[in-house]
Amino acid sequence: MADFEYIVVGSGAGGGPLAANLARQGRSVLLLEAGGDSCAESEKGRLLYEVPIFHGLSTEFEDCRWDYFVRHYSDDTQQRKDSKLVIQDPVSGQRVDAIWYPRAGTLGGCTAHNAMITVTPQNYDWDGIAKTTNDPSWLSANMNRYFERLENCQYQPRPGSVKYVLSGLLWSLIALAKRNTTWRDWVHGHGFAGWLTTSEADARLVLKDIEIIRILLKAVRFAFAEKLPHPLLGFLTKLDPNDSRNDYNMREGPALTPLAVRRGKRNGPREFLLRTAEQFPDRLKIELHALASRVLFDGRKAVAVEFLEGEHLYEADPRCRALQLPEGVLLRYTLAQALYFYLRTGVAEGKIRTRVYSSDSPYDRMKTDIGEVATPMFEPQADAKHLTKLERLLREWVKFVKDGPDLDEPFTSFPIHDRHP
């Protein structure tokens, strides 16, 4: 493979825009994505990706589904108080005692199955990160500008339009009367030329459902009863949570949800990458089904990335976790009247693990636990390396329990069909 100035691992919300922007700045970029492009590989995949209402179903679409199980607490008692606790992985059968977090292995990463809700963080959060890291580049005054650069807002008046001028003049008059220093700002934190299109659902649709109208009226009454700050500001901003006049802090009350939707379809890093690859094919190469396995360094400088080619290689992928292994194998050392080895193999934490037991009886298979062999399952020639480790362990045990055995003699083996010893 050719050399590249930059290698980006992952095509989600972080890696996707990074790779595209580097290519647009004239850099040669290789993008490694462990998944495929499920949106383009089947009609079902396309619909689950594009149609907003299907985002819940897309989290269980096996062509791109990754399952993460996360423990929030080290204490088992505290962990079990969470109603979302999953005891056993439904695919592998392994005990997890953790919370299920759906993720996506596909072009676009988790932006291919999220709910498309696009709401900016609060200033308080950005400023807190800046304080914690002692890095002023994280300050909200700087970070909010990035949202303006990436957004292509479709639900607010666009600069140059009549609506834009009229609403801008109205705001300037109100701000001057209030001695607000932002009276010159007419975009209010929005961008109109970025790669991510944002829109809002047509609010008039709720008029067709009496029950939704009742819920909304109840929410409005609650907002006023709670005396939430600046209720009239909501009218001025048209209930836009991303309007900078909200000060981005402690936003409460009714709001219309901005979505990463363009012309009724999901849009995100995937579209940005595909447009960039089409416009600059000599600068951006997208390698699908490429699982990064190791970063190579020259001193402190990263100089290369090794990756595995193939589908469903990552452990979080259900098809990877569904790997069927023998329940058990019993070995007998032929030069001893009674020396048996019972091997149980499974996959856990990205490794092939074989637990080895020794016994003087084929019926008492787990009499002595002599150790475990583990090999990263994505390591080159993992199966051969794993068998070599197993053979070494077995022969060392034979040396330990027998005097001068002929280790060149073979072992005989036969499978164990019952599930439990």
pLDDT in tens, 291-350: 998 899 999 999 999 888 888 888 788 877 655 555 566 666 655 556 778 888 887 777
**Tokens read off for 216:** 């909304």
Q: Which of 249, 256, 277 is nearest to 31 (CA)?
A: 277
Indicate whether 45 pLDDT > 70. Answer: yes
- H helices present in 178-209, as ranges: none
Put the strands of the sheet holding 29-32 in their side by side order. 6-9, 29-32, 284-287
20 vs 94: which has the higher pLDDT: 20
Lowest mean pLDDT among 6-20, 91-105, 192-206: 91-105
pTM: 0.75
- Report phi then psi at 356, rounded to 5: -115, 130
Indicate whether 164 pLDDT > 70. Answer: yes
Indicate whether 403 pLDDT > 70. Answer: no
CB 412 within 8 A of CB 334: yes
What pLDDT does residue 297 have? Answer: 93
Q: How far apart are CA 160 and CA 163, in angstroms?
A: 8
Locate tokens 């970025």: which residue? 194
CA dihedral 384, 390, 396, 402 (to 10 degrees): -120
Indicate whether 415 pLDDT > 50. Answer: no
Q: How far apart are CA 114 and CA 102, in angstroms?
A: 10
pLDDT per position as a tens digit, 355-364: 888 887 776 7
Question: What average pLDDT does this structure show over 164-175?
Answer: 92
DSSP 201-222: --GGGGGG-HHHHHHHHHHHHH
Task: List 291's β-bridge partners, or say none.
Answer: 308
- Range with the largest mean pLDDT of 182-196, 317-331, 404-418: 182-196
Q: How far apart are CA 159 and CA 191, in angstroms?
A: 10
What pLDDT does residue 294 have? Answer: 87
Indicate whether 223 pLDDT > 80. Answer: no
Indicate whether 253 pLDDT > 60. Answer: yes
What pLDDT does residue 117 have? Answer: 95
Q: How far apart are CA 292 and CA 307, in angstroms?
A: 4
Q: How far apart are CA 16 and CA 267, in angstroms?
A: 13
